[in-house]
Structure 1
Amino acid sequence: MHNNGTRFATLTLTLALGLGIAGQIQAEQVTVPVGTQADRSHASFPENGMSQKAVEERWGPPQEIRQPVGQPPISQWHYPDFIVYFEGDTVLHTVMKRSR
């Protein structure tokens, strides 16, 4: 019987120590400033599948054009608020620039 009492006391002490340590653990909160988050829901930007001609008709000529690289050839059109990536003549993806 003494053996069971010792086991119970050891288990109780172990649990108490474990709970004491666990009670001191805190989660770290990560925050991202609002200015670095792009809200695509209110933005107007080229959609996947659009042609270069349609993009230029809607948003005008880009500020900068980076010529195609790689295979398949991927080019970039830079606008003030976003960059359009084209595969050939077709919009592959649009990335919004970070607000400053």
Structure 2
Amino acid sequence: MASAAFALAACLFAAAQVNAQAGTQDTSATAAAVHGLSQSQVIARYGEPLKRHAAVPAQGEPPKPPIIRWDYADFSIYFEKSIALHRVEHGKFPPQ
């Protein structure tokens, strides 16, 4: 159980690092309005996503919590189970 929790924490940290490089979390009123919406409400507001990413479990464990990502052209929406948590605007990688 502890190893699964550690794996999840590592995954979330890695995702946060990618988001920090690839985009920014939208803190506008639009993003705040997304928090707490059901998946059907998100579809009603934004239409079908371009891609749906399933939750990824840690080495044979069920995903805890099941975090799901839907990608749209300019942003992604993250869900826990079927409830929206965050809207993240897509950005460009910084020059290297």
Q: TM-score, normalised by structure 1?
A: 0.53
| Preserved contact between residue 49 and residue 90 of structure 1 (Cα < 8 Å) | yes
Question: What's the CA shift for 1:43?
Answer: 5.8
Identity over aligned pairs, percent:
35
Residue identity matched to 2:85: L
Aligned length: 65
Matches of 1:55 and 1:67 in 2, distance apart? 16
Larger Rg: 1
For residue 54 of structure 1, give the secondary structure of its aligned residue in structure 2. Answer: helix
- In structure 2, runs of 5+ residues without a counterpart are 1-22, 57-62
Match of 2:40 in 1: 53
For residue 78 of structure 2, give the secondary structure of its aligned residue in structure 1. Answer: strand
Matches of 1:73 and 1:84 in 2, distance apart? 14
Structural RMSD (CA): 2.8
- In structure 1, runs of 5+ residues without a counterpart are 1-35
Q: Which has the higher contact order (CA 8 A, sep 6+)?
A: 2
Residue 92 in structure 1 maps to residue 92 in structure 2: no
Matches of 2:24 and 2:81 in 1, distance apart? 30
